[in-house]
Amino acid sequence: MKAAFFFALAIFLSGSGISQEKPAKLAEFALKSGDTIVFVGNTFTERAQRYGHIETALELAAGPKVTGLKFRNLGWSGDSVFGDARSYFGAPKEGRDRLDKGINELKPSVVFLTYGTGAAMTPDQSWTLDPAEAPKLGSQDRLSVFKSGYAALIDRIRANAGDGLREVVLVSPPPLENLGAPLPDQTENNQRLAKYRDAIRDLAKEKNARFVDLFGAMGGDDFSGDVAEPPLTDNGIHYGEAGYEKIGQHLVEELGLKMPDGLVDETVQEKVDALRDTVVKKNRTFFHRWRPANETYLFLFRKHEQGNNAKEIPMFDPIVKKQEAKIGELRTAVFEAARKR
């Protein structure tokens, strides 16, 4: 009797989907008024704030009815999914705590994550310096180590962001470029990067996150090994002005968004350039807000020397807010100019 009951129950649960926990189908991507969008990642992400193309593209692709968007870049050069690079003088966990604190304070609606380049280029490293992580790594291959570390990072971001987090977007790193001797050939690195892209795609499905294949969109699957012309990177690895402009365009397309018509007009483009210039200034101001150059003196073990000046750091906030108000005015001007074209 009991066997029959449990057999019937198993059939009911499997048919109803209660026990399978299938990920929900993601709705169309959209930015909403008042959203806080946070970028988290390594050198690729940190450098993006210098150029402003990604943020400007998202501002415009959101559409004229969406207002009050707030973008924050928490990228950190040399960072990995383990967050070790974010620590200063303490244990590697300090780096993870720093990111957790930033996410907790910002309470983002949307988070873009970009990791994988460093791990793909250094297949013999586990990309964590924390002895506490060593037992967890075991004899796994490095790609599995990367994936498990990435999964843990996503869980931490969701926990710290809270219920307001609507979207987690995993962006695969863009491909590397060959710029000719004496710079190295990037063919093998791109082959490994393609495997990391695939792992990131799988992880996005497992964690019910959105995936953007920037590697494929930027031509990584068709990489021939020829010398890039014109180059989009400074050294085959780090993207520059032209590279981030293309990345912004591809990111919008991969998200299913659309840039407003009329941007090719010279007058409209001048307004877009003014918008992007202000975005870059705002990013620079926020960078000094959350990563002051003299943090050791303000907050850490030498704060007895200049700790009294720590009160000045929040004074960046109204400056950032003023620049964001200007960004709102400029994006409105772009939409109006494009509409009149």
Sequential pLDDT tens for the chain (341 residues)? 444 443 344 443 444 444 444 556 789 999 999 999 999 999 999 999 999 999 999 999 999 999 999 999 999 999 999 999 999 888 889 999 999 999 999 999 999 999 999 999 998 877 788 877 767 766 678 899 999 999 999 999 999 999 999 999 999 999 999 999 999 999 999 999 999 999 999 999 999 999 999 999 999 999 998 999 999 999 999 999 999 999 999 999 999 999 988 787 888 999 999 999 999 999 999 999 888 887 664 555 556 666 565 566 677 789 999 999 999 999 999 999 988 87
Report the distance separating Cα 125 and Cα 301, nearest Å: 31
Cα maximum dimension of the chain: 80
Question: Alpha helix (H) ranges present in the chain?
Answer: 2-16, 43-51, 53-61, 93-106, 117-121, 134-137, 142-161, 187-206, 214-217, 241-254, 266-290, 295-298, 303-306, 316-340
Q: How far is the C-alpha of 244 from the C-alpha of 51, rounded, in Å?
A: 7
Q: What is the pLDDT of residue 303?
A: 62
- pLDDT at 12 (0 to 100): 37
pLDDT at 124: 80
Residues whose CB is less than 8 angstroms from the CB of residue 5 and which lie 6 or more positions away in sequence, other chains included? none
Q: What architecture (CATH level 2) is domain 30-259? A: 3-Layer(aba) Sandwich (3.40)
Q: Please return the burial class of 30, using the count of CB atoms within 10 Å of its CB with bins 0-12, 13-18 and 19+.
A: middle
Amino acid identity at 232: L
Q: Residue 211: CB partners within 8 Å, gap ≥ 6?
A: 169, 170, 172, 200, 201, 204, 205
Q: What is the pLDDT of residue 15?
A: 43
- Beta-strand pair 167-171/110-114: parallel
Rounded to an integer, what distance in angstroms lies between the CA atom of residue 193 and that of residue 173? 8
**pLDDT attached to residue 3:** 45
Asked whether the beta carbons of 260 and 322 are under 8 A apart, the reply is no
Sheet containing 36-41: which strands, arranged edge to edge?
70-73, 36-41, 110-114, 167-171, 210-212
Bridge partners, residue 70, by sequence: 36
Kindly state the DSSP code that residue 26 receives in the 8-state scheme.
P
Q: Give the integer Cα–Cα distance in Å for 311 and 307.
A: 8
State pTM to two decimals.
0.90
